[in-house]
Homo-oligomer: A and B are copies of this chain.
């Protein structure tokens, strides 16, 4: 009986989540900015990820946070679209950096235009360059758009322009430097010896790369909900810490799914993190638990760009065997537990229930 009830609630949550995703997607698809994306390749590149099946988790938490603090979600939609678009430009540039070819089951932006250029008769080298160049420019205009979207709060819904400025600053002054630092550390750590990067460094990198944008998404939602930009306001503080911890857990779960999910399910190649030599807590725990022979094996396989499918499989099996996944899962669940403690400060409401479900979803999701 309990199980059926839980399932029903979870269905309700999924439904509420999709609704927010649709609202934000539609806002982006019908936005007046769309006529400014030129020429055709830029237009197509800009809408490539927003039209694929993403979960819009950042937009959703922004809207839920707005609701949970007494605001009207409808008026927060431009901000939700802004954080979603902000997240999108970081994905487009990150996919170049990580040499990823697939995202959400479709070619990544740089790959999409590499393919297109090949069809037009470019050499492979020229096509690779063209793909990357378009993807750099697509990310840049998405970045510009994300900032510009905040302006709608002022022009459409008459929010105080000082509040809007504060929200822009929240992304550009708070999130951007940390996110870029996290991305850079991610690149640099993958070149370090495996034993040298500590667990604390890995978690700090994940927090910067992922946790900060989540935290700010919730903060922005609460600031809109409360029409208050005081960061020390207890509700803003609580909801932003809640979401920061959920964001770290999200990244840990992401690392896990990158290894043990099905390619079709996550929409990106399983094991690409291994070829790129990504330092995750999974690798850290496994390496710590490994015998000398197993350590050598891991050193040989992780970061080997030419690893075969079998070698990738072998590496994953070893990471599982050495409890890398299990311990990372535990860590993720601990972050969710820690996150939920901050919810105590939030008044009871149906929105608060959505926040709780959302937190669980961050680590229970399988794609």
Contact = CB atoms under 8 A, between A and B. Distances in A.
A29 interface: no
B140 A93 contact: yes
A99 B164 CA distance: 38
A12 interface: no
A148 B169 contact: yes
Contacts of A176: 140-141, 144-145, 148
Interface stretch (A19-27, A180-188, A349-357): A180-188
Contact of A165 (B41, B140, B161, B191): B161
Interface string A31-50: 00100111101100000000
Contacts of A145: 172, 176
Given A93-B140, A143-B140, A154 B148 contact: no
A173 B148 contact: yes
* Shortest 5 CB-CB contacts between residues of A and residues of B: A144-B176, A36-B177, A161-B161, A161-B162, A144-B172
Copies of this protein, total: 2
A137 interface: yes
A96 B131 CA distance: 13
A151 interface: yes
Contacts of A36: 173, 177-178
Given A134-B184, A147-B147, A162-B154, A173 B33 contact: yes
A184 B134 CA distance: 7
Question: Which interface residue of A36, A38, A99, A184 has the most chain B CB atoms within 10 A?
Answer: A184
Given A147-B172, A148-B173, A42 B130 contact: no
Contacts of A39: 181, 184-185, 188
Interface string A145-161: 10110010010000011
A168 interface: yes
Contacts of A37: 177
A36 B176 CA distance: 9
Given A147-B147, A177-B36, A184 B41 contact: yes
A132 B96 CA distance: 10
Contact of A164 (B38, B165, B183, B188): B165
A102 interface: no
A135 to B, nearest CB: 9
Contacts of A41: 184, 188
Contacts of A96: 132-133, 136
Contacts of A33: 173, 177
A228 to B, nearest CB: 15
Nearest to A130: B187
